């Protein structure tokens, strides 16, 4: 019933594409704008702490706007499109569906201010699309870190040092798939992998929506 009402409201108010403002499809991201996002080749983008890291797409205009809108501008409906993009890429890597998906956590105070963690929203949609298992309780951010984008690599490492804590009792025994929006230097993945390994969890791969370095 709720979905029917949502669709009715979309029809009445002609939901516009966040990217081109077209109301033809009455969706938050029209098929034309979605299809303008380009995938990277299906290869391992880098190895971090011995674990494979994949990056789904080219850091172009629409993918940048998609991530920023979801992350900073309360455009929560965009979580579906980010998850769809990542899932379409990931399904070219494997046909497995038994992953334990762990979105990168944010500090509780920041999540309270923002009222949501954008990667949790994307992870929920990703799991629905891929039939994977969502686990937001395995690893927590216990340090209120600075934004990473203006920091050099050595500053990122210092910033994220001891930022995460694993709650191993929440581990379900499956292959861990850590997902994030952007992988720049890989420091966030690195610190999370290290913390998981300290707790005996070693079956890990990582996936980000994009990387600025192709």
pLDDT single digits (tens) 161-172: 888 999 999 999
Specify the DSSP class assigned to residue 149: T
Please tell me the pTM assigned to this model: 0.89
The full set of domains in the chain, from first to last, is: 1-32 (no CATH), 37-211 (3.40.50)
Q: Binning pLDDT at 50, 70 and 90, where does residue 154 land?
A: confident
pLDDT at residue 6 in the model:
59
90: Cβ contacts below 8 Å, ≥ 6 apart: 54, 56, 130, 207
Tens-place pLDDT, residues 38-71: 999 999 999 999 999 999 999 999 999 999 999 9
Q: What is the DSSP letter of 186?
A: S
For residue 149, the model assigns a pLDDT of 67
Question: Distance between CA 185 and CA 192 in Å, rounded?
Answer: 14
Contact between 129 and 86 (Cβ < 8 Å): no
């Amino acid at each position: 019933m709720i979905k029917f009402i949502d669709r009715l409201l979309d029809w009445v108010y002609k939901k516009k594409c966040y990217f081109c403002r077209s109301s033809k499809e009455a969706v938050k991201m029209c098929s034309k704008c979605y299809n303008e996002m380009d995938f990277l080749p299906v290869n391992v983008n880098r190895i971090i702490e011995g674990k494979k890291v994949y990056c789904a797409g080219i850091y172009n205009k629409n993918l940048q706007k998609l991530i920023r809108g979801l992350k900073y501008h309360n455009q929560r409906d965009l979580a579906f499109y980010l998850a769809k993009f990542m899932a379409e890429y990931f399904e070219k890597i494997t046909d497995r569906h038994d992953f334990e998906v762990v979105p990168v956590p944010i500090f509780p105070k920041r999540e309270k201010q923002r009222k949501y963690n954008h990667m949790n929203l994307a992870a929920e949609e990703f799991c629905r699309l891929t039939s994977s298992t969502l686990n937001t309780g395995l690893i927590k951010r216990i340090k209120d870190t600075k934004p990473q984008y203006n920091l050099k690599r050595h500053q990122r490492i210092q910033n994220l040092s001891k930022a995460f804590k694993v709650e191993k009792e929440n581990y379900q025994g499956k292959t861990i798939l850590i997902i994030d929006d952007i992988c720049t230097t890989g420091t966030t993945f690195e610190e999370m992998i290290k913390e998981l390994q300290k707790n005996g969890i070693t079956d890990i791969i990582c996936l980000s929506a994009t990387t600025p370095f192709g």
